[in-house]
Every structure is written in structure tokens, then in C-alpha cells.
Chain A
Amino acid sequence: MGRRFAICPFCGCGCGMYLEVVGEQMFAVLPSQVHPAGAGRLCLRGWQAGGLIESNRRLLRPQIGQQDASWEAATGAAADSLKSVLQEGPQAIGVLCGGHLTNEEAFACRLYSTEALGTPNLDSSARAVDAGSIWGLEQTFCMPYRSPVLSEIANSDVILCLNSNLSWESPQAAGYIMEAAEAGATVIVIDEVDQGLRDLAALYVRHKLGARGALLHLLVESVAGSGGLDADGRNTLEQTGVELETFREACLLLRAAKRLGIVFSTTALQIPEEAAHLAELAMLREASGAEAANVFALRSDCNSVGVTDMGIAPVREGEIRGLSTFEMLTSEGHLRGLVVFAEAVEKFIGEGQLQRLREQLEFLLCVGCFETATSQLADVVLPMAGWGECEGTFTCHDGTIWPLPKVASPPGESRELAQILRDLSATQVPPALAADIMALRAQISQHVPGYGPVDWQQVTSGQPAAAVPALGNDTQDLVGPAREIPELAGTSPERPHALVVRHDEGSWAFDARARGAEILARELADQRTPFVVINPETCRQLETREGRSISISTTFGSEVLPIRCSAGVPGDVVMLPWQFRDIAQALAGPVHLDTRTGSAHHLPVAASLEIPTGT
């Protein structure tokens, strides 16, 4: 029996774990007691990490047109098709990478994209989610953002939490908030709906939809000043829907904080200015004598930091302006070819829009581990080795680099990604891809800012190293605080409700890994069938009940969906989970795209609820 240290392959907490193996059979996952993120704990997902290796949804053989093919035929067909698309120019191709690729895989993808394909359209799913808030933090701190170690949350005396559903998004972070609360910390939750953490909160600040930016701006002003609000401020506060007394209490608590912890999930804060306000708040408290004021921006994916460090981002230099994830997937007619590395595109745009995107593309290449809607629509599918099947490293939220072991052989005919990229580029301009992993790491040290001093031998032996890259040169001035709260689109007396598309506990349900690990797939099955969440009182007023269907209409369209009830959703709000992408776009319109960062979100819209005719 052997034991290898690894980092959990799921969320951005990056908990350390040991894999117990006999031969190539993985028997158990054990949480590391000393790893600073997990400190002896794993969440439901982490305990199921072995399910990824034993998954029955793995891609096993190369495919051309959904028919099994040899590696030579498949890579040859892919290379020929890519060459054909490249004749329309490198801008015609886009490359999308998963946020759980290892540093080595991500660096190899970058070389392949920029050197073999020459395209500036390169992005990762991690950046698509994280970029909005991380960019906002970096512009304000004027330095690359690295989160403090998660366990530091437990040492806070006041915790400002921006998502009430953290226990799902980042379970370890929620665990540390609970630990701090038990030790006497004051927890303030600011959220438009209540999805769990309110029970822990000494103060729950519920604001109107879309009013978070304005509220945070007011908080910064008040904490910086005397704590009072001028007439303008009071007027804005009224629009946010927050009571003056509640606001004052929040200000007092924040001003009194000695060790302030600001915690939020990047999925929840897509608007850079909102994150910037939180950074300002932290800096204000530090400048006012607080012992510590930490911002914990919880990343979306296990190697969000590393993949971004490796340069997986749209190339933007001079006249060149590469497309970001949502721009690639939603800009009609721009792309003729799309290469997807270890990602399920449907997670971002829904299966309906994926079908439309597919019709637009001349060629779709899917290199991945699991069967997804993307792999089912791809012209060529190349199966790759996944987590635990090849050596690599992850860069965790705090910038420390940890090793990933190989404990099993890739299933079927799967190959390691670096080998696939070498095969793919054999008939194209060969990228300068190193022949083995240590040479690849030497290339990383040479080309990736901040990774020069990394002792890879030390990392491989299980001792972490730190990498701090320089701030990118694509900095821009922030537009400034948004004090005005946007009107709901399509407001009218006929539409008295507000529809919000929100990352909730099921946002992860369409992730290929969530569907790949059998137990997780079963646990999340009911999060893949569309539904809306409304207040039980609203349900009663409409003379319907949970489980029945309701018709939701907005200016964009209407849909009939089953009801789920939650007392945490205000009476005038209808909550649609983000993962139902096609429905979200049908009801809330296209995503609002931030061209500075590539982040995307839906703006709240006015909605009406009706019992469907015939029920």
C-alpha cells in the first residue's frame, strides 16, 4: 500500500489530502491535518475525489464524428481541420481551458495556443468566474492578489460575508466562519437572499437586487468618515432597501473590528467595483489601527490561481485583442473553430446555445476526461489523463505550489495532455514544448513571472513553494463607485416581482467532474432539473404549492418551471439558479459582459408570476 499527497481536485479552497493506493487501485482519501486550507477536514466533494479516477463517464478512446478512431487518425484529422480554420486567420480560433488543469498542463496549453495556433483568443473557465472580483481587488491593492490562508478566517473577530451560501461554494471557508462564530466572532452577512449563513450572523443585511455596489460604497464612506450619512447618502441607502439602523450597526461593527475578515466567493461578485469597495474597506481598517484586515476572495476552481498565472488569458497587446470565455462562446460569427481543454462549455451557455454555437463553428475539438454535451457535439474528441493520472502541480489560493501525484494509469487509450499537444502540433508549427515534466517546469520558471525561484524538486517532495507574479500590464482605471441602483428591466405594474439569476448550491451541477464522480452525480441529480425558488408566502398567495409549476414572464420571454420554496427568498423575488443557462437567457436576456475582465452576469429583471393555464 502506498500513500501520496495531493490537492483536492474540486473547489478553490485547495485542501490537502492523501491518496491511499494499492497498486493502481485507490482505496481512500484522507484529509491532511497540517495543510493550511483544510486542517484535517474535507467536504463531501473532497471525500469523493477518488470517484474521478474510477468514473464510468470517462472518455476512453479518440473519436472522429462520434466514432472511435485511432490516435493517429484523430490527431491528424484535428490538425488538418485546425489548419483549414487557420486559413481564415488566427482570430478565427478560440481556446478554452478548464480551471483544474495542472500548472504544467496550462503552460503547455498556452504554448500550443500562442505558438502553434497563434491565436489571441485564449481563456480559462476559472478566469471567466474569478476575473471580475480579482481584477477589482488588484486594481485597488495595486498588487497581485493572493488570498491569505483560509484558516486565518477563524482568527477574525468580525467577519463580513458577502454570500449566504458559502457552505456550498467553499465549504471549508464556511467551516472557518462557523469556527470563528463559535469562538465569539461577530458575523455580518450582506446578501439579497438568505441561503444558510444567516443563522450564524449577528447582523443580516438584506438589500434590494442590484444594490450591493451602492451599499458597499456607502459602507466604505461611512467607515472612513464619522459614520454618518449625508442627505444623498440617506437617499441612496433608502434605495438599497437597507434600514438606517441596520446600516449604522454594520458600520459600528466594522469600525470596531480588530481582525476583520472579508469573505466572498468570486462567483457572487462579478462586478469589479464591488470587490474594489471591499478592498478599500480592508485598507481603511488597516490604516485605522486594526491588527489585520484580510480579504478572502474564494476562487472557483482548484487551480484557478495557477492556470491564470500560467498565462491562460486573452492576449491583449497593442491592436491585438483576444476574446474572453463569454466573448468566444456568445459572439456570433466570430469564431470558426474552438478547442476545449478539459471543460464543459454547456456550463457557461447551456446546451441550447451550445447547439447554436456548434452550428456556427466549422470545427470543434474537445480534449477532456469526461463525457459532456461538448464532447458529444465535438468533431474530434481526444481523451486525456485526469487528476491522479499524471504528475503535476497546483498553485493554491495563497500562492503556494503543491504537488499532484500520479496514482493510476489513464483509463482506456487516454494520454497525458502534454503528449496530446505534441501529437497535435506535429503537423503544425511545433511549439517549443519540453519533452518531459521537469524540462516543462524549467520552461515555466523561465517564462512565468514569479515562478523563477521555485524549487520544483522541493515541491515534488511535498514541501510547498510560493510564487508571487507581477501585476499584469492590462491595468485600467475603475469606472468608479456605482451609487445609482439600476432600474429593473421591464418594470411595470403587471410585473411586480424581480427575477434574479444566482449562483446557488447547484451551480456546480453541470460541471463534468460533478457528473463524473458517481456519488456526487447522484447527490446533484435534482439540481440538474430546472426549477425556480420563491417565498412560501408568495406560493400561498398564488394558491399553489412546492412541486407545482409556475409561469414566469419577463420582457425577454416566459417559461413554465416547477416551484421550490425557501423562506430566505424575499416575497417579491424569484430566484433562478445560474446553472439553468438556457432558461436564464430566455428570461433574463443575454449575459451582461464586462469587456474589461471578461466576467459576465445577468442583471435582475422585472417578472410576473402566474399559474399556467390548464393546471
Chain B
Amino acid sequence: MMPALATYSLPANRLEEVIDRLMACADEVIGPTRTPPGDVFFDVIGSVDDIELQYGNSLVPPTSVLLPMAEEMFRVLPGDPPRIEQRGLEPSRLLFGVRPCDVAAIQRLDHFFLDGEFEDDLYGARRSRTMIVALACSEKADARCFCSCCDTGPYAKEGYDLQLSLVDNTYLVEVGSKQRASGRAPP
């Protein structure tokens, strides 16, 4: 377990202000949003009002942002000979409101795609430009939750850049990475 680099307290009523400031740190902010029927998905948010903080688990985990079901790898442009156009630079992303179990899942993906002999460059490109703001569970999200059995919750011990834990009306803010502690955007 990595100890938090710094901890702060944040009154719950000032969270929106902080989110607004975090939104300026990245090209895209992806957070839990509720569809009209009521399901929660991680989607690009336009404003702080789009974020759903009172959610248990999302229908699709936020790992799908880092490992989408389908992605464009490169383009073949017609010509003689045809040219291959590589993808441009990934946008910097802030993944907000990630549950600790999903933070653990992202760590497993990191291990699989980045720590071995072969690195997945597409995944790596996305991952290196993604900042994770975890949202610890203050209560059991779902009857089927099992994070305590795997030591992956209800709060994340590592793998986050920032973690928010609601205690009464105050968020405990833990800083998990030096780079993020400075408030800089991902590289």
C-alpha cells in the first residue's frame, strides 16, 4: 500500500467548485452520469451538473474508457502506394468518480498491458494521459459487492491520483501521485 502523499479536507458543499477547477486540467472529463431511464455510465461531461455522485456501480465499468470495445488503430489512406496514418495524440482525460474496485481493475489492466515484455502502445498512450479521481464508497454500493474480500475497497489504497472519501459533510482528499499533487495536467 502506498501512503497518500498529502491529505486535505474539503467541505462537501465546495466539491463542485473543485470539480470545476479539475475540469480545466484535462481535455476531457469523464465521470458517472445518469441516463434518462436511470442507469449510470461513465461519459464525457460538459458541466459539473452532469456528474452523478449518488451512484453505486456504473453499468459499464470505467475501464472501458481505457480499453474500449472498439477503437480506431490506424487509417489506410488510398494512394499508390496506400499510406498508413497513425492516430494522433490522445486527449488528456480526467476520470472522475471511479469506485475503488474499478481503480483496482485499472491497476490489473496496467499490469497486463504495460508491465510485461510487450507493452500495448494504444493502451499505454491513453493511460499515460489519464488522471484518476477515485470516489471511495461510504456505504455498500450493491448487495453483490465483494471488494472487502479482495482487499480492493471500500477505499482505494493505491492506483489513484486523487481520492475523495465522504466523512459526514466533509470530503477527505488524498493525493496519490506527486505529479497530480502539483495540480498539473497529465503529460
Seen from chain A, the residues whose Cβ lies within 8 Å of a Cβ on chain B are: 1, 3, 5, 16, 18, 20, 22, 25, 27-28, 30, 32-35, 461-464
Contacts and interface: CB of A to CB of B under 8 A. Distances in A.
Contacts of A464: 37
Contacts of B37: 5, 16, 32, 34-35, 462-464
B38 interface: yes
B82 interface: no
A27 B70 contact: yes
B69 A30 contact: no
Given A3-B35, A20-B69, 10 more contacts: A1-B68, A18-B59, A22-B70, A25-B70, A30-B59, A30-B60, A32-B39, A32-B59, A33-B39, A463-B36
B110 to A, nearest CB: 22
Interface string B56-73: 000110000000111000
Contacts of B160: none
B104 to A, nearest CB: 21
Contact of A5 (B35, B60, B68, B70): B35
A25 B70 CA distance: 10
Of residues A30, A32, A33, A461, which shows the largest number of chain B Cβ atoms within 10 Å of its Cβ? A33
Contacts of A3: 35, 41
Q: Chain B interface: which size bin?
A: 10 to 19
Contacts of B68: 1
A117 to B, nearest CB: 38
B57 to A, nearest CB: 8
Given A1-B69, A3-B41, A28-B69, A33 B59 contact: yes
- A-B complex: 10 closest residue pairs judged by Cβ atoms: A462-B36, A34-B38, A463-B36, A22-B70, A461-B36, A462-B37, A27-B69, A32-B39, A34-B39, A33-B39
Interface of B: 35-39, 41, 59-60, 68-70
Contacts of A28: 69
Contacts of B60: 30
14 contacts: A1-B68, A3-B35, A16-B37, A20-B69, A25-B70, A27-B70, A32-B37, A33-B59, A34-B38, A461-B36, A462-B35, A462-B36, A462-B37, A463-B37
A5 B38 CA distance: 11
A533 to B, nearest CB: 38
A1 B43 CA distance: 10
A35 B38 CA distance: 8
A18 B36 contact: no
A33 B39 CA distance: 6
A50 to B, nearest CB: 12
A27 B70 CA distance: 8
Contacts of B70: 1, 22, 25, 27
Contacts of B39: 18, 32-34
A472 to B, nearest CB: 31
A128 B41 CA distance: 40
A461 B35 CA distance: 9
A30 B39 CA distance: 11
Of residues A25, A28, A34, which shows the largest number of chain B Cβ atoms within 10 Å of its Cβ? A34
A5 B69 contact: no
A27 B64 CA distance: 13
Contacts of A1: 68-70
Contacts of B59: 18, 30, 32-33
Contacts of A32: 37, 39, 59
Contacts of A22: 70
Contacts of A462: 35-37
Contacts of A34: 37-39
B51 to A, nearest CB: 17
A3 B34 CA distance: 12
Contacts of A5: 35-37
Contacts of A35: 37
B59 to A, nearest CB: 6
